[in-house]
Structure 1
């Protein structure tokens, strides 16, 4: 088999070699536990953790005291949603608002909270997967405890109007969380200007290590775990020093290289999609402009996406969210934007990233066109244009 071209960068990104070099000393030489207060190894580890925390805070333009290190977005989301809910219920507030196009980490946590007696309201999104702020305003109530809206969609890449949504919540003194897993490191984020109360993100989405993430909080939160007291008691347990250092390095590289990389990824994405148009019967899902760079979600008429991906083992792509692939059900995001089952089953997600070259995109275009044409000939519903 020829070299596999990796085009699933919305699922995870490869670790940047510069990040690995920054992490290496903390595996072999700088081995201390940051909670060890009586020797150099511990001091060294603690300094590394706090330096990384300040680096991440500076890049997101927020107070370092408000950043908590976790194992990733899913843990951060659970901690935020359940923690806020448990505090809110004591004040008589049990209404939580989100959208139908959220990541499963949010939707499944809200489903759990619903089973605990909370009133969960999922708002419909528009045909691009974005929430209309006016729809949110109409849904808010006196007992609304929290609003949770994804910053950038993990399947279709659409970017929500987070600044406007955050202002709506702030004016009404309602807490606001955003799942920023697909936004951090890819688009500009300034938490001093955009007043979110809680944010969750994962390092492996921006070329950092897997298993490490951040939880940003401006408000107090009820912890889910206990013991040890690390991370202000919100996330107890020995800190993963190598990965924390790796995450801060990855974020620094991503933010510094963002202007040039955004331009490059947009050009590659446009070239790929425009080249595929020669097939006819293809559709871009998500907003045509307001989307994260490198993300393409495309439906092919008269094609089963699963068959298309299986026929191209030399291209690593997906039919949607990696976290939902084991469920074998139609994409809830594509359903939320109004696609019928046929369009949903014919959709693939292409994630172009830092390591992809123009030559790889050219090769991918040729392979996709070749296989789509072959598979369409096998479809009884397809008639080739004259």
Structure 2
């Protein structure tokens, strides 16, 4: 039996979430924006209940939650939606990092063509950026600081609390890409000061195709975001289009479950990681972790096996485990990981690195068996 170990790409849907969605598909048939009959009203009730569930796990107000198709769209709205405000205020300086998701890096490239000044902060070998480095780059015309909370390739947790605290009293917006941390590092997100936050449901056991952009009010006003698409007034005009009621219900249910179970889930994932550490120590292979494990997520391991091609290892092990060597958005490209490159890791080490990511549902016995097979395969591929 093959064991799925690519949770950072997409988390398997929780059966309770699926049951909730099926019920909505079968019994709630209206358009949530139809105001002339009860079918629309019932759909709207489902949507607003889900909005409250998303708000609850973050301890924010429900009118600060805006549904999108996922974090990629949320990131695009957060950046491109500020263009009018930037032009009005002449604040066109953006600070982000060189290890962000491509939905941010490609968007900032587009904005540079429109006259924006973009600073990219790189991490050191630990995989972690310096909060001081970020803050030292703030200028009078700085519009936005954006930092991914947990890197999707290395699992390294970034210092968003320190950055948010320092920026809070400045006339600078702070955006967090919380795709990998939402529903997991719950307390840390609740305690962090930010203006905007992006997330996707399918990273915490919800359905693919739905997410949210959080726009927090400051002095009773939302961040100055304008829509980047047109055609309707859904989501207060921020994101037009018919609301996918069942997907939204699935996101809400996933948030409700995570809010109740995230602590126990974290303990299960950490126990798995400790076991993998021990198996690696006893393997006899030459290996190195990419990123300081002191700052690493409890459900991600990025490791280099000396002399073992990651491509060869993935192909040779796919019958008993599903792993990756980076972000799913780059999986069709055989270019070296830009994240590991930005950390200063050598090209040979990058080519020999894989990412393993898991969730609390994975049996520790299953993952141990699969990991042992992976290591035995790696030994055969050493050159």
Task: Tell me whether the two structures share a fold, i.e. TM-score over 0.5.
Answer: yes
Q: 1:21 — aligned with what? A: 19
Within-5 A mapping of 1:119-138: 119-138=117-136
Q: Does structure 1 conserve the Cα–Cα contact (< 8 Å) formed by 2:57 and 2:183?
A: no
Q: 2:260 — aligned with what? A: 256
Q: 2:157 — aligned with what? A: 159
SS in 1 for 2:186: coil
Offset, 1:189: 4.2
Ranges in structure 1 where 5+ consecutive residues have no aligned partner: 380-386
Give me the whole-angstrom Cα distance separating, in 1, the residues matched to 2:372 and 2:97.
37
Offset, 1:30: 1.0
Give me the whole-angstrom Cα distance separating, in 2, the residues matched to 1:130 and 1:192.
21
Give me the whole-angstrom Cα distance separating, in 2, the residues matched to 1:149 and 1:252.
26
Normalised by the length of structure 1, the TM-score is: 0.95
Offset, 1:279: 2.5
CA-to-partner distance for each residue in 1:243-265, whole Å, 9 max, x for gaps?
10000111111221111111111
Q: 1:283 — aligned with what? A: 288
TM-aligned CA distance change 1:189 to 1:75, over 3 Å: farther
Q: 1:343 aligns with which of 349, 352, 362?
A: 349
Give me the whole-angstrom Cα distance separating, in 2, the residues matched to 1:88 and 1:189.
32
Q: Does structure 2 conserve the Cα–Cα contact (< 8 Å) formed by 1:61 and 1:190?
A: no
Within-5 A mapping of 1:286-365: 286-313=291-318, 314-365=320-371
Q: Does structure 2 conserve the Cα–Cα contact (< 8 Å) formed by 1:200 and 1:216?
A: yes
SS in 2 for 1:110: helix
Q: Does structure 1 conserve the Cα–Cα contact (< 8 Å) formed by 2:135 and 2:163?
A: no
2:190 is equivalent to residue 184 of structure 1: no
Give me the whole-angstrom Cα distance separating, in 1, the residues matched to 2:250 and 2:364.
28
Q: Does structure 2 conserve the Cα–Cα contact (< 8 Å) formed by 1:186 and 1:293?
A: no
Q: 2:220 — aligned with what? A: none
Give me the whole-angstrom Cα distance separating, in 1, the residues matched to 2:293 and 2:87.
40
Offset, 1:328: 2.0
Q: Does structure 1 conserve the Cα–Cα contact (< 8 Å) formed by 2:175 and 2:194?
A: yes
Q: Which moved more, 1:286-295 or 1:258-267?
A: 286-295
Give me the whole-angstrom Cα distance separating, in 2, the residues matched to 1:160 and 1:366.
31
Give me the whole-angstrom Cα distance separating, in 2, the residues matched to 1:204 and 1:85.
29
Ranges in structure 2 where 5+ consecutive residues have no aligned partner: 217-222
Offset, 1:232: 0.5
Within-5 A mapping of 1:21-60: 21-60=19-58
Q: Does structure 2 conserve the Cα–Cα contact (< 8 Å) formed by 1:186 and 1:292?
A: no
Q: 2:59 — aligned with what? A: 61
Give me the whole-angstrom Cα distance separating, in 1, the residues matched to 2:242 and 2:256.
24
Q: 2:277 — aligned with what? A: 273
Give me the whole-angstrom Cα distance separating, in 1, the residues matched to 2:187 and 2:40.
33
Give me the whole-angstrom Cα distance separating, in 1, the residues matched to 2:32 and 2:292.
44
Q: Which moved more, 1:79-88 or 1:150-159?
A: 79-88
Offset, 1:26: 1.7
2:225 is equivalent to residue 221 of structure 1: yes
Q: Which moved more, 1:200-209 or 1:352-361?
A: 352-361
Q: Does structure 2 conserve the Cα–Cα contact (< 8 Å) formed by 1:62 and 1:191?
A: no
Q: Does structure 1 conserve the Cα–Cα contact (< 8 Å) formed by 2:57 and 2:255?
A: yes
Q: 1:368 — aligned with what? A: 374
Q: Does structure 2 conserve the Cα–Cα contact (< 8 Å) formed by 1:85 and 1:145?
A: no
SS in 1 for 2:228: coil
Give me the whole-angstrom Cα distance separating, in 2, the residues matched to 1:243 and 1:154.
23
RMSD (Å) for aligned C-alpha atoms: 1.2
Q: Does structure 2 conserve the Cα–Cα contact (< 8 Å) formed by 1:187 and 1:292?
A: no
Give me the whole-angstrom Cα distance separating, in 1, the residues matched to 2:115 and 2:15.
47
Give me the whole-angstrom Cα distance separating, in 2, the residues matched to 1:110 and 1:80.
11
SS in 2 for 1:283: strand
Q: 1:118 — aligned with what? A: 116
TM-aligned CA distance change 1:247 to 1:330, over 3 Å: same
Moved over 3 A (4+): 189-193
Give me the whole-angstrom Cα distance separating, in 2, the residues matched to 1:187 and 1:291.
12
Say how many residue pairs are matched. 375
Q: Which moved more, 1:175-184 or 1:272-281?
A: 272-281
